[in-house]
Structure 1
Amino acid sequence: MDAVDDNYTTNAGISTTLVSVFTNDLYNGIAVNPANIFASQTSPAIPGITFNNMTGQITVASTVVPGSYLVRYRICSNSLSCPACDEAVAVITVTSPITLVANPDDFTTNCINTTNGGTTASILVNDTMSSAPVNPSLVTITIDSNGGLNNITANANGTLSIPANAPVGTYILNYTIRDNANPYNFATSTVTICISVGYNPGTGANNYVFAMSLQADGKILIGGAFTRYNGIPRARIARLNQDLSLDETFDANGIGFNNVVRSIAVDSNGKIFVAGDFTATTSGTPAKHLARLQNTAIASTNGTVDTAFLNNNFTLLPSQSYGDNNSRLLSIAIDAANNIYV
């Protein structure tokens, strides 16, 4: 019979059952069969540490404080014809518990582009494991509450993957980091993420932009001296999406203005007013320096010139009679009552 010494290490604060001490013990050069031996603990009992005579397993309770403990045991064959015994020592080292600390993260200085989605920095960079930086391979990250931001993936390296087309906004998420060696050891914290509109202006306007106005739906009207935007014909007026790409649904039916647009204003009904150096639309419709564009709904403004407005349907300042071909309007403004000032 050959009982071989054993060495074990476990963390304090958790209840652990160690591998059987019989695993490396031999009888006649062959691994012992627990069914063919008798085992007993020969060292004094240790509070919180239990030796199982049948299986050879040692259980360490969560209450055992850090330190080194010796469990001496004896194994004997149950053969009456050839009895044999031997003793060995199992050394159990109980280490101090691993302390996980998770600290809040704020990633709002680097928002994720909603158009393409993206990946945040690691939420582990300011978290610690026994006062040292967290090794991502030793923990598991879970998102406990997504704050309304769906389909987030917590990656093994601590980064978070955000899918494309996530709603624009700022979100606070709750997360947990959990010790892989001890699932009862964990820490929780928060991470703040912002999703913003990306920018995709392409080549932009091919000449000066002098005017800009924001619609209620977030789309942007621009006017100026340009004749193309992103290489697409636009005669001195265009509308952009929030990412600065061209809104191709707003094309004024291919009609723009024959000279520079200096100012754009939108009233409370979503009607679009344009002022500038122009005297007509590119289709030849007279529009001396001032025009209004058709608008049946803010979200579906198509940019068609409102001929009713051009035909003196404007009591404050009839556009047909304002100025001559050498004049120009530099600015236009609309107050809360939709009064127009030029």
Structure 2
Amino acid sequence: MPWISLTSLPEGIIVDPASGDVSVASGITPGSYYFTYYLSYFSGSGDGANVFITVTSDSDLQTNTDHFNPICQGTSANVLLNDTIDGQSLLENASLVTVTQISAPNGISVDATGAITIAPTVQEGIYYLRYKVCLNDTPNECSVNFAYLAVAKNWITGFVKFNNTACSLLS
């Protein structure tokens, strides 16, 4: 019989360790969820897989996974960029919602308007932050998702003759 090991499960996601069946508790907030699953015939390390689960609802609020590649300190990025309400951009209708940060590495944050801030102390690398968007007039109507960030720094020092978009040329 295989041995199953899991990373921390998101609240409301259930994995049966005997069968590996994945289920979702009723009432879970719609959105994307992630965990790592290891399977081995011996107790210890085994083959792992990253599992992404998308929970949907009848809501017109739709958050989508964000990929900012690269993103630099001081760059404007917003998690609402590709999210919608009734098919309309949330970035253009940001007053209808409130964004809440669920988790993020030190030095990376998102504010209530969806704006991402990256502190100068954040090293280059791949990071993700988890966020929740809720409708202001119906606070229980929410959706959760991830923003993946490839943080880059401008490696050129001294006098630079070209414009300040050098960081965006890394993509």
What is the TM-score when the length of structure 2 is the normalising length?
0.52
Following the alignment from structure 1 to structure 2, what is the Cα–Cα distance between the partners of residues 119 and 187? 25
Look up the SS of the partner of 1:187 in the other structure.
Answer: strand
User: Please, which of 138, 154, 162 is the counterpart of residue 198 of structure 1?
Assistant: 154
Match of 2:10 in 1: none
Match of 2:62 in 1: 101
Q: How many residues align?
A: 101
Match of 2:101 in 1: 143
Task: Work out whether residues 137 and 156 of structure 1, in 8 Å CA contact, stay in contact via their aligned partners in 2.
Answer: no
The change in CA–CA distance for 1:203 and 1:163 in structure 2 (over 3 A counts) is: closer
Look up the SS of the partner of 1:124 in the other structure.
Answer: helix
Letter in 2 for 1:158: G
Task: Work out whether residues 122 and 160 of structure 1, in 8 Å CA contact, stay in contact via their aligned partners in 2.
Answer: yes
Give how far 1:119 is off: 3.6
Match of 1:111 in 2: 71
Aligned pairs for 1:1-342 (under 5 A) are 99-108=60-69, 110-112=70-72, 117-134=73-90, 135-146=93-104, 149-203=105-159
Q: CA RMSD in A?
A: 2.1
Task: Work out whether residues 179 and 186 of structure 1, in 8 Å CA contact, stay in contact via their aligned partners in 2.
Answer: yes
Unaligned runs of 5+ in 1: 1-96, 205-342
Following the alignment from structure 1 to structure 2, what is the Cα–Cα distance between the partners of residues 195 and 125? 18
Deviations 1:303-337 (A, max 9, x none): xxxxxxxxxxxxxxxxxxxxxxxxxxxxxxxxxxx
Deviations 1:211-242 (A, max 9, x none): xxxxxxxxxxxxxxxxxxxxxxxxxxxxxxxx
Q: Which has the higher contact order (CA 8 A, sep 6+)?
A: 2
Deviations 1:98-120 (A, max 9, x none): 52100011001x321xxxx3244
Match of 2:36 in 1: none
What is the TM-score when the length of structure 1 is the normalising length?
0.27
Question: Which has a greater percent of strand?
Answer: 2
Task: Work out whether residues 66 and 148 of structure 2, in 8 Å CA contact, stay in contact via their aligned partners in 1.
Answer: yes
Letter in 2 for 1:122: N
Following the alignment from structure 2 to structure 1, what is the Cα–Cα distance between the partners of residues 137 and 158? 51
Following the alignment from structure 2 to structure 1, what is the Cα–Cα distance between the partners of residues 109 and 146? 15
Letter in 1 for 2:68: F
Following the alignment from structure 1 to structure 2, what is the Cα–Cα distance between the partners of residues 138 and 201? 42
Look up the SS of the partner of 1:158 in the other structure.
Answer: coil
